[in-house]
Amino acid sequence: MKARTIALVGAGNVAVHLGKALAAAGHTIAAVCSRTPESRTALAAALSPATPVATPDFRNLDLDIVILAVPDAALAGVAAALQVQEGTMVVHTSGSQPLSLLDAVAGARTGVFYPLQTFSRAKPVDFNAIPMLVEAREEETLQELEQFARSISQQVQVVSSDARKQLHLAAVFACNFTNHLLGISREILQQANLPTNLLQPLLNETIAKASQFHPFTVQTGPAVRGDQNVLQEHLRLLQNQPRYQQLYQVLSESIGEVREFGS
Amino acid sequence: MKARTIALVGAGNVAVHLGKALAAAGHTIAAVCSRTPESRTALAAALSPATPVATPDFRNLDLDIVILAVPDAALAGVAAALQVQEGTMVVHTSGSQPLSLLDAVAGARTGVFYPLQTFSRAKPVDFNAIPMLVEAREEETLQELEQFARSISQQVQVVSSDARKQLHLAAVFACNFTNHLLGISREILQQANLPTNLLQPLLNETIAKASQFHPFTVQTGPAVRGDQNVLQEHLRLLQNQPRYQQLYQVLSESIGEVREFGS
């Protein structure tokens, strides 16, 4: 592995976990930049020998890579303020923002370095199992970035900005929406005074099966059976929760269409 | 453990897995009843010393328990045809059918014995981790049934028919609907030529987090952030799939309401 000298911009969950993984892999974090003094001081101390800095002006540092790990909404502003030596690689870590957002950074070779995972402050992370999605315009930059990504992850994937947008949409369905359904399910269990972990084995099996087969081919439940008795009874049970009733209806109709399509 | 003498009605996935677990726990499967000769013969052979029988007439057998493991739609018919010695315990294994469905069985003590899991023929099952939901009207029958359930599972739960109905509704949201969303997600990945397992780590983390916390409190994504730019862009990407666009809209609105409620 080629050890790199890195500056991190941002001190949130992504910056913290990524910084630790990079330091553990043998890279040098030379600087941590954050507007919040406590954040940059704390993260720099955790990533020795990093220096805390207040603004993203790295002209006096010999860096290989600057990693922008800031919220999506802050990214354009940071890119506009960023200053680096000619030829430094600058990457952002956002799943939803295009590579072109970094065109504003003068003299940099730009790329995307996106860890496809959700991070919680307290929970340690095994980067080895996290897909690292990389993108760059120039072939040489892309190869460097892939090599760099492989120093922390065994799952490195080149993904264009367009495909990354589709991936983000897929993630909203698979993760954000799924989480919401799990919340509704939990509410129903609580209202019936049932233990909230009761469905865990069934859910685990559902998730395991959906990774082995195309989920549409292993769909179970009243909607795919076209079981009108159960569907009507469930809509009745939800009569005081019109939003959940609507969700139930639309999801069941969508499942019904897959059934018709498949039959 | 008190070893029981059991007849199984049905030879589908539930009967097969349940029969094996009961035999392994030291109970005796005396008879396997199915209308299909091959099915009853095969399952009886696997559950030695069981005898295959064609009709559910068990008046000449000294049984402790008859387990009806047949499809929901067949249950009422089987209950009507079933004949047992006075005082035999008769239970069904359905999550969606009430205990009262067994009132038709003359002379029996009735109950529900519902394994909360989805079974595939080929995949072996560890019943120890499967919640067994039991119900009976008389206290003595209920205690017997609980004891019997504990012989194969460490998670035995007394659940009334009404609560079981709510549980089934909760399972539709947590499992059936989730599976459908995973199917949509997979379609999007395929259309973008992305590996279909790319979201697996993120999904696993989502599921793990949803079991530790109330999912509504750990919701992420554009809908909970109220990020109109991303929401509009995602709806645009789905413009050729009106059903998925509708699902995206309704699910995002529902998440938005949780956000408002929580703030």
C-alpha A117/C-alpha B202 separation (Å) is 5
Query: Is-contact A32 A43, C-beta < 8 A?
Result: yes
Does B172 contact A222 at a Cβ distance shorter than 8 Å? yes
A142 shares contact with chain B (CB less than 8 Å)? no
| A134 and A42 both lie in a single domain | yes
At A234 the pLDDT is 96
Q: Give the H or E element holding residue A72.
A: helix A72-81
At B119 the pLDDT is 84
- Chain B partners within 8 Å of A188 (Cβ): 166-167, 169-170, 173
Mean pLDDT computed over A12-41:
97
- When computed from its CA atoms, the radius of gyration of chain A, rounded to whole angstroms, is 23
C-alpha A68/C-alpha A70 separation (Å) is 6
| B170 and B199 both lie in a single domain | yes
| A142 and A180 both lie in a single domain | no
Closest CA to A95 of A50, A181, A159: A159
| A133 and A253 both lie in a single domain | no
Chain segment B57-68, per-residue pLDDT in tens: 999 999 999 999
B225 shares contact with chain A (CB less than 8 Å)? no
For residue A260, pLDDT over 70 is answered with no
pTM of the model: 0.89
C-alpha A5/C-alpha A212 separation (Å) is 41
| Residue A263 pLDDT class (50, 70, 90 cuts) | very low
Does A163 contact B194 at a Cβ distance shorter than 8 Å? yes
- This model of the complex carries an ipTM of 0.89
Query: Is-contact B8 B18, C-beta < 8 A?
Result: yes
C-alpha B148/C-alpha B1 separation (Å) is 8
Per the structure block, which two tokens stand in for A91?
């990457």
| B211 and B193 both lie in a single domain | yes
Query: Is-contact B170 A189, C-beta < 8 A?
Result: yes
Please name the residues between 45 and 74 in chain B that touch chain A, using a CB distance below 8 Å. Answer: none
Select from A161, A185, A190 the residue whose CB has the most chain B CBs within 10 Å, as the one to mutate to test that interface. A185
Closest CA to A64 of A48, A42, A84, A80: A84
- CATH number of B30's domain: 3.40.50.720
Does A200 contact B211 at a Cβ distance shorter than 8 Å? yes
Does A180 contact B251 at a Cβ distance shorter than 8 Å? yes
Query: Is-contact B255 A245, C-beta < 8 A?
Result: no
Question: Which residue has 């009569």 as its token pair?
Answer: A239
* pLDDT cut 90: percent of chain B above it: 90
For chain A, give the longest Cα–Cα distance: 72
The string of DSSP letters for B84-128 reads --TT-EEEE--SSS-GGGGGGSTT-EEEEEEE-S---SSS---GG
| B154 and B169 both lie in a single domain | no
Chain segment A126-180, per-residue pLDDT in tens: 999 999 999 999 999 999 999 999 999 999 999 999 999 999 999 999 999 999 9
| Residue B261 pLDDT class (50, 70, 90 cuts) | low
Does B206 contact A257 at a Cβ distance shorter than 8 Å? no
| A172 and A239 both lie in a single domain | yes
| B146 and B191 both lie in a single domain | no
Does B194 contact A247 at a Cβ distance shorter than 8 Å? no
Residue B145, classified by CB atoms within 10 Å of its CB into exposed (0-12), middle (13-18) or buried (19+), is buried
Q: Of B102, B132, B159, at which residue does a domain stop? A: B159
Chain segment A204-237, per-residue pLDDT in tens: 999 999 999 999 999 999 999 898 989 999 999 9
A208 shares contact with chain B (CB less than 8 Å)? no
| B155 and B173 both lie in a single domain | no
- Report CA-CA distances (Å) from A4 to A31, A89, B93, B154, B248: 12, 11, 61, 52, 42
Chain segment B7-20, per-residue pLDDT in tens: 999 999 999 999 99
A89 shares contact with chain B (CB less than 8 Å)? no
Per the structure block, which two tokens stand in for A147?
């090599």
CA angle B157–B159–B162, rounded 5-degree value: 165
* pLDDT cut 90: percent of chain A above it: 90
Domain count, chain A: 2
How far is the alpha carbon of B82 from chain A, nearest alpha carbon, in Å?
Answer: 25
Does B173 contact A184 at a Cβ distance shorter than 8 Å? yes
Write down how long chain B is. Answer: 263
C-alpha B216/C-alpha A180 separation (Å) is 7
C-alpha B46/C-alpha A66 separation (Å) is 64
C-alpha B141/C-alpha A52 separation (Å) is 70
At B120 the pLDDT is 79
* pLDDT cut 70: percent of chain B above it: 98
For chain B, give the longest Cα–Cα distance: 72
- CATH number of B170's domain: 1.10.1040.20
Looking at every residue in chain B, the average pLDDT score rounds to: 95
For residue A262, pLDDT over 80 is answered with no
At A122 the pLDDT is 78
Looking at every residue in chain A, the average pLDDT score rounds to: 95
A190 shares contact with chain B (CB less than 8 Å)? no
Say which residues have a Cβ less than 8 Å from residue B175's Cβ, sequence separation at least 6: A199, A202, A203, A206, A220, A221, B118
Query: Is-contact B202 A195, C-beta < 8 A?
Result: no
- Report CA-CA distances (Å) from B94 to A125, B113, B159: 41, 8, 12
Q: Which of these ranges, A47-56, A97-106, A189-198, A254-263, has the smallest mean pLDDT?
A: A254-263
| B51 and B176 both lie in a single domain | no
Mean pLDDT computed over A1-23:
96
Query: Do the bridges between strand B109-115 and strand B132-136 make them parallel or antiparallel, or are there none, so unpaired?
Result: antiparallel
The distance of Cα B99 from the centroid of its chain, to the nearest Å, equals 16
At B260 the pLDDT is 66
B143 shares contact with chain A (CB less than 8 Å)? no
A161 shares contact with chain B (CB less than 8 Å)? no
Chain segment B156-210, per-residue pLDDT in tens: 999 999 999 999 999 999 999 999 999 999 999 999 999 999 999 999 999 999 9
For residue A21, pLDDT over 60 is answered with yes
Mean pLDDT computed over B95-108:
93
Mean pLDDT computed over B203-232:
93
C-alpha A111/C-alpha A135 separation (Å) is 5
| B27 and B151 both lie in a single domain | yes
Q: Of B108, B141, B159, at which residue does a domain stop? A: B159
Domain ranges, residue B200: 164-262
Mean pLDDT computed over B230-252:
96
Query: What does DSSP assign to residue A83?
Result: B
| B50 and B90 both lie in a single domain | yes
| Residue B263 pLDDT class (50, 70, 90 cuts) | very low
Mean pLDDT computed over B214-237:
93
At B124 the pLDDT is 82
For residue B128, pLDDT over 90 is answered with yes
Q: Of B118, B140, B159, at which residue does a domain stop? A: B159
Query: Is-contact A27 A4, C-beta < 8 A?
Result: yes
Per the structure block, which two tokens stand in for A63?
């860096």
